[in-house]
Structure 1
Amino acid sequence: MSLPALTAMVVGSMVGAGIFNLPGRFGVATGPFGAIIAWIVAGTGMYMLARVFQFLAEKRPDIDSGVFAYAKSGFGDYAGFLSAFGYWLGSCFGNVFYWVLIGSTLGNFFPYIFGDGSSPIAILVSLAGIWTFHFMILRGVEQAAFVNTVVTIAKIVPIIVAILLMIFAFNYAQFSENFFGGVGMPEKSLLLQVRDTMLITIFVFLGIEGASVYSRFAKTRADVGTATILGFAAVLGLMVAVTLLPFGAMPRATLAGVANPSLAGALEVIVGRWGAIFVSVGVLISVLGAYLAWSLICAEVLFAAAKSKDMPRLFAAQNPNRVPANALWLTNIVVSLFVISTYWSSDAFNFMLNMTSVTALLPYLLVAGYGVLVARRGDGYEATPRERGRDQIFAWIAVIYTLFMFVAAGLKYVLLVAVLFVPSTILYVWARREQNVSLFTPVELVIFGVTVTAGLVGAYGLLTGTISP
C-alpha cells in the first residue's frame, strides 16, 4: 500500500459516522466556548497519541499490527491479549453503530419501515449488508482497500459542501449569543460541558491507528507514521469546522434538537429539505466506507494476534486471497448478533457509540505507555538520541489524556466493558494451552483478578438494574 492508500485508510477509518453527529452532540453538551476547549483537549491528546504511533513505527519497525503488539511487547502476554480483544470488540461495537445509523438515516425518509434504526426491517437490511461486505472482503484485502480509497474521496465531498454552505450562512451575532451557552439551555459548569463532549471526540478519532494496523502492507515503513499525521490533521480540521459553524447559523437550543444524523438536520435548518437529503446520501456512503475499513481492521487484529500466538491459531488461517477468513467469519457473526440485540435496546444509537469509545481506551493507554518505555530505554534511538526526550513528553501526555478519558467516560461504561472482558479469557486460555505454557505471571494474575472483580460488579449492576444499557 502506498502513502496515499495508507492515508486514505486513516481518513476512511476516522471519517465514518461520528463526524455527521458532531453538531447535535456538541449542541446538547456545550456552546462554542466549551467546544473550542474540548477540541483543544481532544486534539492535543490525540495528536500526542498520533505522534506515539509515528515514532513507534519508526523506532520499532519489527513490530507489525501495532495496536496490540505494542502492548504485548511492553507489558506482557495477558496485556497484549486484553489489548487485542478490546480493540477487536470495540471495532465490533463500532460496526454495529454504523448499521444503526444507516437504519436511522433511512428512517428519516421511511419512518414506518426503518424507525430509529432498530426495527425488524432495519435489522434485516443490516444483516444483508454485513454479509455482502463479508463475501466481498473474502475476495481480497487489496481490492477492498482500493474500494476504501475511492469511497473516502466520495464521502468527503458532502462534508466539504456542508461546510461551505454553513460558512455562507454564518451569522456572527448568532455565534456570539451561543458562545457561552446560549438561550434556553440548562446551566452547567464549563468542566461538565467539556466532559460531556469527551466520548464523542474519542469516537470520531477512532481509526487514527488505521495505518499502523496495516503496517505489514506498507511499501515503505516510514509511510506509516506520515500517513497517521496527515490523516489526523485533515480530519481534525473537518471536525472542528463541522462542530463550530452551526453555532453561527441557529440558536443552540435548535441545534440540540435536530434529528440524527445531526449534520443533515442542521443543514436542513439552513437551506431546507434538500440539504438533509444531500447529507444523508453522504452519510450512507461514508458509513459504508468506514464499515469496510473497520471490517478489514477487525479481521486483521484477530489474525495478527493469532499469528503471534495471543489468540487461538484457528484465526491465523488465510484463504487463497490472503484474507484472514476465520477471523472475518467470527467478526461478522459477533456483529450480526449485536445488531439483532438492538431490537431490545432503548437507545442503541448512543449506547453503541459510548461502548465503542470506552473499549478503545485500554489499547490506546497501553500504546501510550509502551511509547514511554521505548523512549526511556532508548530502543531504536541509536542514530537520533536527541529525539528521546521529545518522544517521552509526547507519550506521557498521551498517557495522561487516556487516563482522563476513563474518568470522563464514567464508571458505568468501564464496568460494562469489564463484563465482556471476563468471558474472553476462554480465548486466552485456549491459546496458552495450544502452546503448552503457563497461563499467568504473578502480576498478570493480579490484573486478571481485578478484571474479574470489575466484571462481577458490572454483571451485578445489570442484574439489579443499577446499571442500565
Structure 2
Amino acid sequence: MTSSTAQKLSLPNLSAMVVGSMVGAGIFSLPQTFGRVTGGFGALIAWAIAGTGMLMLALVFQSLSRRKPDLDAGVFAYAKAGFGNYLGFASALGYWTVCCLGNVSYFVLIKSTLGALVPAFGEGNTIQAIVSSSLILWVVHFLILRGVKQAAGLNTIVTVAKIIPILIFLVFVGFGFKADIFALNFWGGEAATVGNVFAQVRGTMLVTVFVFVGIEGASVYSRYARNRNDVGVATVLGFVGVLCLLVLVTMLSYGVLLRPDLAALRNPSMAGVLQAVVGRWGAVFVSIGLIISVLGAYLSWSLLAAEVLFSAARMESMPRFLARENRNQVPSAALWLTSSLIQLFLVFTFFAEEAFLLALKLTSSMILLPYLLVAAYALKLAWTRETYATDPAARRLDFLRAALATLYAVGLIYAGGLKFLLLSTVIYAPGTILFWIARREQGKRVFTPVEWGLFLLAAAGAITAIYGLATGAIGV
C-alpha cells in the first residue's frame, strides 16, 4: 500500500479486522470442544482466566502501538527488537505456521460440515476430503498469484457472514435454554472437587487460545491506520465483543444438550445445538454461514501468511528470496512456500484420528511463543523504563499488565502439556534453516552463544518428538 491508501483504515475498519481475524472456525466448534472436557463451572473459570489473560495481552498491544510506532511489521517485530535476531525469526516462523495451520483447520471443518451430506468426506480428513481441499488450495493459490488481493469490502463481508448466524444462534438457543439441563451440566458430571475442576479447566486452555488467535489483527496492519491510537482501541473493542460471543455460545449450549451429547456432536457443533432447538433448518443455516465465513477467512489468512514471510524477509529475518514479488506485486515466493506447507499439513491430517482438534491444538501451541515474546517485550520496556521518560506515571500499570500477560502465556505453555510443546519444536528446529540462509546472505554470524543454546534445545525437542511419533509414544 502507498502512503495515501494507508490513511484509509479507520477505527471501525480496524475493529472489523480484529473481529474478522478472531471469529473463524473455532467459535463454531465450541459446544463440542468444551463439552468434551468440562462442564459449565469449569467453562466459566476457563473463560475468566482466558478473558483476563487475553485482555492483558490486548492492552499490551495497545501500549506497544503507542510506544513503538516504528515497529509496524507484525508481532514478530517486537520479538526481534526485544530479544534478538533468532527469537525474532522464531516468532515470525511460529506466526506464519499458525496462519497455515489455521487454514488447515478451515479445510477440515468445511469438509466435516459437508460430510453430513457427502459421507465420503467423513470428519474432514479422508482421502476424498484431502484431495478436494488440495484442489481448492491450489486454485486459490493461482488466483492470488494473478493479483487477487484483499478487496476493499472483503473483510467486512466476511465478518458479517460470520456474525449473523452466530447472533441468530444465540437468539434461538437463548429461547430454548433449559435451566435443569444446565444444572446437570454445571459440574461436568463429576464430583465437585478442586482436582476435577482444575483438570477440566486445563483441558480447555488451548481451545481458548485458538479462538483468540487474531487479536493482533489491527497490529499486523498498523502502518495502514488513519490514526495510530486507533490500533490499540480497535484491539480492545474487538476483543471485548468477541469474548462476549464466545462465552454466550459456550454457556447457552450447556442449557440445550447434556455434556455427553455435546461431546458427541460432529463439527461444526453449533449446528447440532441449534438443530436440537429448532430442527434441521438450524443445522443447515449454521453450516452455510460457516462455509461462507471460512472460505472468506481462508483467503484472508493465506494473504496474511504470505505477508508475514514477505515482511520478515524485508526485515532480514528470512531469506531474501521470500521478499520477491511477481509482476502483479504479489509476494510469490512467500505464497509458494505457504501453500506448500498447507499442503503438507493437509496430508498429515489423514493420519490423525481427530484432525480438527489436532490442528486446533497445534495452532494454539505455535502461537504461544509469539504472544509470550510480545508480552515479555512490553515487560522489558516497563522494567528498563524505555519510552517512559516523559510518562513515568503509566509505567507501573503497564508493568502490571505486561507481567500478567507474560504469566498467562507461560501458564498456557504448561496447560498445553509436553506433547504439543514437543510437536511445535518439529517446526521450529528444521525451520531454522531459513534463519541460517538469511544470516549467511548478510555475511553475519548465525548464532550468538545464547541462541546456540536455544537452537540445540529446539533440536533436542524435535528429535524427541519424532522418536515419540515413530514409536507411538506420542499419538496424533
TM, length-normalised to structure 2: 0.94
Tell me the distance in 2 between the aligned counterparts of 1:72 and 1:305: 10
Deviations 1:294-343 (A, max 9, x none): 21221111111101101001111234554322211210121122213323
Tell me the distance in 1 between the aligned counterparts of 2:132 and 2:191: 39
Superposition pairs for residues 55-454 of structure 1, below 5 Å? 55-111=63-119, 113-138=120-145, 143-144=150-151, 146-182=153-189, 189-454=196-461
Kindly indicate whether the alpha-carbon contact (under 8 Å) linking 2:79 and 2:88 is maintained by their aligned counterparts in 1. yes
Tell me the distance in 2 between the aligned counterparts of 1:462 and 1:255: 30
Deviations 1:235-294 (A, max 9, x none): 101000000001112322222222211111111111111111111111112211222222
2:24 corresponds to which of 6, 13, 16: 16
- Code of the residue aligned with 1:368 in structure 2: it is A
* Count of residue pairs the alignment pairs up: 468
Kindly indicate whether the alpha-carbon contact (under 8 Å) linking 2:18 and 2:216 is maintained by their aligned counterparts in 1. yes
Deviations 1:49-96 (A, max 9, x none): 111111111100010123111001000000101111111112211111
Moved more, 406-415 or 416-425: 416-425
Change over 3 Å in CA distance of 1:125–1:187 after alignment to 2: farther
Kindly indicate whether the alpha-carbon contact (under 8 Å) linking 1:177 and 1:183 is maintained by their aligned counterparts in 2. no
Tell me the distance in 1 between the aligned counterparts of 2:62 and 2:139: 34
- Aligned partner of 1:52 in structure 2 is 60
Tell me the SS of whatever aligns to 2:24.
coil
Kindly indicate whether the alpha-carbon contact (under 8 Å) linking 1:372 and 1:392 is maintained by their aligned counterparts in 2. yes
Kindly indicate whether the alpha-carbon contact (under 8 Å) linking 1:59 and 1:379 is maintained by their aligned counterparts in 2. no
Kindly indicate whether the alpha-carbon contact (under 8 Å) linking 1:173 and 1:248 is maintained by their aligned counterparts in 2. yes
Tell me the SS of whatever aligns to 2:36.
helix
Change over 3 Å in CA distance of 1:346–1:174 after alignment to 2: closer
- Aligned partner of 2:42 in structure 1 is 34
- Code of the residue aligned with 1:436 in structure 2: it is G
- Code of the residue aligned with 1:327 in structure 2: it is A
Change over 3 Å in CA distance of 1:447–1:436 after alignment to 2: same
- Aligned partner of 2:470 in structure 1 is 463
Q: What is the alpha-carbon root mean square deviation over aligned residues?
A: 2.0
Kindly indicate whether the alpha-carbon contact (under 8 Å) linking 2:18 and 2:238 is maintained by their aligned counterparts in 1. yes
Deviations 1:159-205 (A, max 9, x none): 00000001111122322222222489999710001011111101000
Moved more, 271-280 or 250-259: 250-259
Change over 3 Å in CA distance of 1:392–1:84 after alignment to 2: same
Deviations 1:376-411 (A, max 9, x none): 233333443211111111111011101111111110
Residue 430 of structure 1: CA displacement? Answer: 0.4
Tell me the distance in 2 between the aligned counterparts of 1:368 and 1:187: 30
- Code of the residue aligned with 1:103 in structure 2: it is K
Kindly indicate whether the alpha-carbon contact (under 8 Å) linking 1:90 and 1:360 is maintained by their aligned counterparts in 2. yes
Change over 3 Å in CA distance of 1:251–1:185 after alignment to 2: farther
Kindly indicate whether the alpha-carbon contact (under 8 Å) linking 1:418 and 1:455 is maintained by their aligned counterparts in 2. yes
Change over 3 Å in CA distance of 1:191–1:429 after alignment to 2: same
Tell me the distance in 2 between the aligned counterparts of 1:139 and 1:48: 40
Tell me the distance in 2 between the aligned counterparts of 1:76 and 1:370: 11
Change over 3 Å in CA distance of 1:460–1:124 after alignment to 2: closer
Kindly indicate whether the alpha-carbon contact (under 8 Å) linking 2:190 and 2:196 is maintained by their aligned counterparts in 1. no
Tell me the distance in 2 between the aligned counterparts of 1:119 and 1:463: 22
Residue 145 of structure 1: CA displacement? Answer: 5.5
Which runs of 5 or more residues in structure 1 are unaligned?
A: none
Residue 448 of structure 1: CA displacement? Answer: 1.3
Residue 464 of structure 1: CA displacement? Answer: 1.8
Tell me the distance in 2 between the aligned counterparts of 1:61 and 1:141: 29
Tell me the distance in 1 between the aligned counterparts of 2:379 and 2:147: 37
Tell me the distance in 2 between the aligned counterparts of 1:375 and 1:187: 36
Tell me the distance in 1 between the aligned counterparts of 2:291 and 2:177: 26
Tell me the distance in 2 between the aligned counterparts of 1:260 and 1:426: 37
Which runs of 5 or more residues in structure 2 are unaligned?
A: 1-8
Tell me the distance in 2 between the aligned counterparts of 1:388 and 1:42: 24
In percent, how many aligned pairs have the same letter?
53
Kindly indicate whether the alpha-carbon contact (under 8 Å) linking 1:12 and 1:289 is maintained by their aligned counterparts in 2. no
Tell me the distance in 2 between the aligned counterparts of 1:386 and 1:97: 44
Moved more, 66-75 or 456-465: 456-465
Kindly indicate whether the alpha-carbon contact (under 8 Å) linking 1:72 and 1:79 is maintained by their aligned counterparts in 2. yes
TM, length-normalised to structure 1: 0.95
Tell me the SS of whatever aligns to 1:117.
coil
- Code of the residue aligned with 2:181 in structure 1: it is Q
- Aligned partner of 1:6 in structure 2 is 14
- Code of the residue aligned with 2:352 in structure 1: it is S
